[in-house]
């Protein structure tokens, strides 16, 4: 099993728009057949498919793959547990962003009141 610090040792993600499966494999240190399997198991992972069914991953896909890799290889989750963890994280992110928006709106109202006086 990999040590928890290994995720920090992954190469940085270049500033490209699209990545091939081979590039993602190198960036995440996961074999291409594993990436194809994860696409079936994790509905959040949807690379763009073009001519000849070639996969092109975007930056958010690479970040998601690194999260999946961490959950499975470092934290010891099963596929089902990792899937559940990612779904719960997505729900929490939605709640946090809603709270953040409400805080921002109230701060803007305060600023508006200060500017009007």
Find the CATH number of the domain harbouring 55: 1.10.1660.10
Q: Does any domain span residue 21?
A: yes
Q: What secondary structure does DSSP assign to 47-58, as a single string?
A: -EEEGGGEEEB-
**Predicted confidence (pLDDT) at residue 5 exceeds the cutoff of 50:** no
Residue 105 token pair:
């709106």
pLDDT at residue 7 tops 70: no
Q: Which residues form the domain of 43?
A: 4-90
- For helices 59-69 and 79-116, what crossing angle results, to 10°? 130
Residue 117's pLDDT band, with cuts at 50, 70 and 90, is confident
Give the pTM: 0.70
Q: Is the pLDDT of residue 2 over 90?
A: no
Residue 51 in any domain: the answer is: yes
97 domain-assigned: no
Domain count across the chain: 1
Residue 109 lies in a domain: no
- 28 domain-assigned: yes
Q: Which two tokens stand for residue 78?
A: 């099963």
Nearest to 15 by CA among 58, 50, 74: 58
């Amino acid at each position: 099993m990999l040590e928890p610090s290994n995720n920090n040792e992954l190469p940085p993600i270049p500033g490209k728009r699209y990545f091939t499966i081979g590039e993602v494999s190198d960036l995440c240190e996961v074999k291409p057949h594993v990436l194809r399997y994860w696409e079936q198991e994790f509905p959040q992972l949807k690379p763009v498919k073009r001519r000849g069914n070639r996969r092109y991953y975007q930056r958010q896909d690479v970040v998601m793959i690194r999260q999946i890799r961490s959950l499975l290889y470092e934290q010891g989750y099963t596929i089902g547990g990792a899937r559940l963890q990612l779904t719960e994280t997505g729900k929490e992110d939605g709640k946090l962003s809603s709270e953040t928006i409400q805080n921002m709106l109230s701060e803007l109202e305060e600023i508006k009141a200060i500017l009007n006086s």
